[in-house]
Amino acid sequence: MIASSENLFSSETSAAPIGIIAMNSVTELGNKINNYLVEWSKRAGYDADSFLIESECPRFSSGDGKGLIKSTVRGKDLFIIVDVGNYNVKYNYFGFENAMSPDDHYQDLKRIIQAASGKAHRVNIIMPILYGGRQHRRSYRESLDCACALQELEAMGVANIVTFDAHDPRVQNAVPLMGFDNVMPTYQVLKCLLNDVKDIKPTKENFMIVSPDEGALNRNMYYASVLGVDMGMFYKRRDYSTIVNGRNPIIAHEYLGNPVEGKDIFVADDIISSGESMLDLAYNLKEKGAARIFTYATYAIFTNGLDKFDEAYEKGIIGGVLGTNLTYRSPELLSRPWFHEVDVSKYIAYFIEAINHEVSISKILDPHAKIDALLKKYGIK
């Protein structure tokens, strides 16, 4: 990927000592990232016990809050990690237990930046789910939440933002002078698929990539290109005469592409929300004679629960669902036999090292060589 971790830690190009603030929405992920960094630093001859900096965002019962950083950040290259989609974090509000929304997480992020008081050498934000990322373009009189938030963070002195699989990465045009990296964990996804599904053969004769819609074409084209397999796509036929829950309802998913009969199918998207669209695609592909269907979403949040996916798995409609640990996964989801977790913590640790040591991240963003080696390891190339 990049120069070895030991070489990076021993390099003299480090911007400043690393400091990591893992917000309470990413405690588990933050600990995993810290463990990798500590291990690599010790291999390089440094005696670092932890890079984590303790912080807290307590709330008054009225709902007001504040940010506290409990040790110095002066001169640190500060990396703040936050999951704005973690609804499992709760606080007391007028005697009620209130689940934190993306708005609440974003406000706490700003509180921690304020608490740093400009003393850090540099402030970097790792925000896997981009706040407001699904409200990324204006249609008629609508807000532009994501663009506004990015500009606000830039005004607060944030130097870099790292996000994963942004719904529309063009939103970075709102902050052309700030560092913005949109990361696709393609290698980690393929590694998980090949490790967990032992008999899968991602070759042109046995395997196809299918894009769930035109918006997901680029990410699915990359999978098809690195694997050397055929690709099809669906497009969503909508009823533009009505609006339901703020959008035009989908009438049908129409398929374009080569026949899928007898082939294993892989469908990649950025988010599984209710999951209805993904299941519609799976049933549609099964009707066309597809073999096993594996779906992947960087953020598998399942807002409408898991029952329909349980049913589809029992019927043999889906063979498995892959999702990352970049956002909260409920214990119920983690217990499902059809769910396969993609661990991205090591990837983020590499990013932190690379940014801290002013090393080019182009090879991390394009992991083609790593994917090629992975496929050769499994005898696919």
Give the pLDDT confidence of 309-340 residue by residue, as tens digits.
Answer: 999 999 999 999 999 999 999 999 999 999 99
8 A C-beta contact, residue 244 and residue 191: no
CA distance 145 to 245: 18
Residues in the chain: 381
3-state secondary structure of 223: helix
User: Per-residue confidence at 15, pLDDT binned at 50, 70, 90?
Assistant: confident
8 A C-beta contact, residue 3 and residue 9: no
User: What's the whole-number mean pLDDT along residues 29-34?
Assistant: 97
User: Per-residue confidence at 12, pLDDT binned at 50, 70, 90?
Assistant: low
CA distance 209 to 223: 7
Lowest mean pLDDT among 4-18, 35-49, 165-179, 262-276: 4-18
**pLDDT at 159 > cutoff 80:** yes
Query: CA distances (Å), 80 to each of 147, 226, 265, 304, 332, in order?
Result: 19, 33, 37, 30, 28
Lowest mean pLDDT among 81-85, 256-260, 371-375, 376-380: 376-380
User: What's the whole-number mean pLDDT along residues 215-229?
Assistant: 92
Nearest Cα residue to 323 out of 280, 266, 270, 276: 270
3-state secondary structure of 100: coil
**pLDDT at 200 > cutoff 80:** yes
Report the mean per-residue pLDDT for the chain. 91
288: amino acid identity, one letter = K
Helix H or strand E encompassing 79: strand 77-81
CA distance 103 to 252: 33
pLDDT at 239: 65
Strands 18-22, 77-81: parallel, antiparallel or unpaired by DSSP?
Answer: parallel
Nearest Cα residue to 210 out of 283, 151, 269: 269
**pLDDT at 256 > cutoff 70:** yes
Displacement of CA 6 from its chain's centroid (Å): 27
Q: End-to-end distance of the chain based on CA atoms, in angstroms?
A: 20
**pLDDT at 120 > cutoff 80:** yes
pLDDT at 2: 46
User: Per-residue confidence at 380, pLDDT binned at 50, 70, 90?
Assistant: confident
pLDDT at 99: 94
Residues 6+ apart with CB under 8 A from 216: 268, 269, 270
Bridge partners for 178 per DSSP: none
**pLDDT at 163 > cutoff 60:** yes
8 A C-beta contact, residue 210 and residue 265: yes
The two structure tokens encoding residue 265:
């199918």
pLDDT at 167: 87
Half-sphere exposure (Cβ direction) of 90: Cα atoms closer than 13 Å: 9
- Residue 131: other Cβ atoms inside 10 A: 23
Angle between helix axes 145-155 and 102-116 (nearest 10 degrees) is 10
Tell me, yes or no, if the pTM score tops 0.85.
yes
Nearest Cα residue to 272 out of 320, 239, 224, 314: 320
E strands, 173-331, are 179-183, 207-211, 230-238, 250-256, 264-272, 293-300, 320-324
Write phi, then psi, for 126 (nearest 5 degrees): -110, 105
Higher pLDDT, 247 or 119: 119
User: What's the whole-number mean pLDDT along residues 183-197?
Assistant: 95
User: Per-residue confidence at 209, pLDDT binned at 50, 70, 90?
Assistant: very high
Helices (H), the chain: 5-10, 27-43, 102-116, 145-155, 186-196, 217-227, 276-287, 307-314, 331-334, 345-356, 362-365, 368-377
**pLDDT at 274 > cutoff 50:** yes
pLDDT at 277: 86
pLDDT at 10: 57
